[in-house]
Amino acid sequence: MILGSIEAGGTKFVCAVGNENYEVIDKAIFPTIDPATTIGNCIAFFKKYPEMQAMSVASFGPIDIDKHSAKYGYITDTPKIKWSNCDFIGMLKRGLGQNLPIYFTTDVNGSVYGEYVNLKDQLPKADLVYYTIGTGVGAGAIQDGHFIGGVGAPEMGHVLVKRHPDDLNFTGICPYHGDCLEGLLCGPTFKARLGKRGEDVSDDDHVWDIMAYYAAQAVMQATSILRPARVIFGGSVSRPHFMEKVRDQFRQLYNGYLEVGDLEEYITNPSVPGNGSATLGNFALAEKMLHQ
C-alpha cells in the first residue's frame, strides 16, 4: 500500500510517501511560497507515485473542514495573503486525480493523531492533547480515537489566562485578543518582550518562567476539560528546559487537584522522533479513510 502525507506549515511543506507499515519511503520539503508554486511542487512529487491509494493533508489554518461547506478543503482567511481563500484540496485533486481520496485536517490534528498511533498500545486509554507553540499556539486533541471538535476544529490558543505578576505590563500580541494564551506565549512574543528572537534567549532568562506559567495554565485547561492521558508540547518554543518549568508551574498551580500520574510522562514532548508526528498521523488517517 502507498499512502501520502502533506504537513503544510507556514514556512515549509513536508511531503512524504509511506507504506502500510507507515514507514517513510520517500520525502521532500518545499518552502511555503504561494499556492501555485508550493502545491505545484507537492503535486510533482506525488505524481511519481501513481499507485498511491490515499493521502492526508494536515494544514496550517484557518481551514474549512466542514464537508457540507462550499469552501470545504480551503485555507480560508489567513493573514498570509497569498494563501487566503486557497482551494488546497481542489488543487491537489486537479493535479493528482479527482478520485484520489484525500483527508483534510489541521496541522495539530495531524500531529496528535500521529502521537495517538504511536502511543495507543502503551496507554490504557490514549486520550491525548497536543499543543504546538511556535508562530502561534494551537492544539489538537483525541478522545477514544476521535478528534475533539464540535462544529469546527479547536482553537485552544485563544483563551484568557491569569497574568504572571512579572508580566503585567506586556499587552500581548494577538491581533484579536491581545493577551490571550497565544498572545502571551507564541514564539514572536520573544521579540515583543525582549527585542530578540527565541533562539537568542538564554535558558536562564526569567521570560521562560513567565511563559511556563501560561503553558501550565494550558495544561490545567486540558486536564480539567478533557482529562487526557498525556499533554504533549511540540513547536520551537517547547524545549526540554522549558518543559521542566511547565511541569513545576503546573505542580504548583494545580495543587494535586486531580491525579495525573508522573508529570515527566504527563507533560511531555512528542514521542515520534524527528518531528514525524504529523507524517505518521497523516499515513494513519489516509489509511483509515480507505477503510470507511
Residues near a second copy, by CB under 8 A: 125, 127, 139, 141, 143-144, 146, 148-163, 176-177, 179, 217, 220-222, 224-229, 253-258
Rounded Cα distance, 84 and 87, in Å: 9
Q: Which is nearer to a second copy, 2 or 260 (CB)?
A: 260
How far is it, in rounded angstroms, from Cα 70 to Cα 34? 22
Grid cell digits, residue 148 = 475533539
Beta bridge partners of 182: none
The phi-psi region of residue 41 (left if phi > 0; otherwise alpha if psi is between -120 and 50; otherwise beta) is: alpha
Instruction: Write the CA distances from 36 to 80, 82, 281, integer angstroms.
Output: 14, 10, 25
Q: How far apart are CB 178 and a second copy at their closest, in Å?
A: 9
* Residues β-bridged to residue 89: none
Beta bridge partners of 128: 142, 230
Task: State which residue, 153 or 267, has the beta carbon closest to a second copy.
Answer: 153
- Least distance (Å) between residue 1 CB and a second copy: 28
Using the minimum distance from each CB to a second copy, give the nearer residue, 161 or 212. Answer: 161
On whether the CB atoms of residues 127 and 119 are closer than 8 A, the answer is no
Shortest distance, position 240 Cβ to a second copy, whole Å: 25
Rounded least distance, CB 4 to a second copy, Å: 27
What is the smallest separation between the CB atom of 176 and a second copy, expressed in angstroms? Answer: 5
SS3 call for 29 = strand
Closer residue to a second copy (CB): 144 or 262: 144
Nearer to a second copy, 261 or 273 (CB): 261
DSSP designation for 164: P
Q: Quote the CA–CA distance of 281 and 116 in Å, as a whole number.
A: 8
- Min dist. Cβ of residue 18 to a second copy (A): 28
What 8-state DSSP symbol labels residue 110?
H
Of 13 and 116, which CB lies nearer to a second copy in the complex structure? 116
Are residues 75 and 86 in contact, defined by beta-carbon separation less than 8 angstroms? yes
Task: Specify the 3-state DSSP secondary structure of 94.
Answer: helix
> Please, which residues bridge with residue 132 across strands?
138, 234
Least distance to a second copy from the beta carbon of 265, Å? 13
Nearer to a second copy by Cβ, of 5 and 132: the residue is 132
